[in-house]
Amino acid sequence: AEIQKSHQVKKTEDEELLNAYNKIQRSVRDIESKYRRMLALKQQQLKTDSLMQRENLAQKIFDAVSKLICEFTVSEKYENYLINLVKNEKINENFIIMISEKDLKYSNVLQDISGCKVETDPDIVMGGISIVDTENGIAVDKTFDSAIKEQRKQFSSRYKFRNENLS
């Protein structure tokens, strides 16, 4: 009876130890899983914050560039810039030069230099010119508006901020 009792107690102890071990392992897995999720969420939040900060810095850069462009368009050098844009293109009387409303004061000079019609385009806000070939349906866009848009699209793939590690 004592031997049987001893085996039964040993068997019960082993079963309970195995149950306790399994409960501990399950708890460890649950805790590890919980902290992995927390870590992944924190990493995602940090990455999102970093991308937002990067976007804010990029926006500040483009705001500063836009401000400098606006200052340039009211300077004395801007008229010569527009004239050189027209002179560097091969155009004839079938072309139309599109300018912004605020650049309307340069229309006579541009018309005299190019020999073609000058019109305003409401889509041109910052400045520059767009030259339209009415015969071939081709437009050459030399506006600051489109240049800024194009640079903005390419900015994230071209430029990295120092110490940037988003992976």
The predicted-structure confidence for 113-155, as pLDDT tens digits, reads as follows: 988 999 999 999 999 999 999 888 899 999 999 999 999 888 8
Question: What is the pLDDT at residue 166?
Answer: 47
Vertex 146, ends 121 and 108: CA angle to 5°? 40
Give bridge partners of residue 142 from the DSSP assignment: 129
Task: Indicate the residue type of 161.
Answer: F
Residue pLDDT, tens place only, 47-101: 999 889 988 998 999 999 999 999 999 999 999 999 999 998 888 888 999 999 9
Put residue 115 in one of left, alpha, beta given phi > 0 → left and psi -120 to 50 → alpha. Answer: left
> pTM for the complete prediction?
0.69
φ and ψ of 165, to 5 deg: -140, 95
Q: What does residue 19 show for φ and ψ, rounded to 5 degrees?
A: -60, -45
From 75, 67, 64, select the one nearest 56 (Cα to Cα).
64
Closest C-alpha among 73, 75, 92 to residue 143 = 73
CA-based nearest residue to 134, from 75, 91, 163? 91
Give the Cα separation of 33 and 110 in Å (integer): 70
Residue 159 has pLDDT above 80, yes or no: no
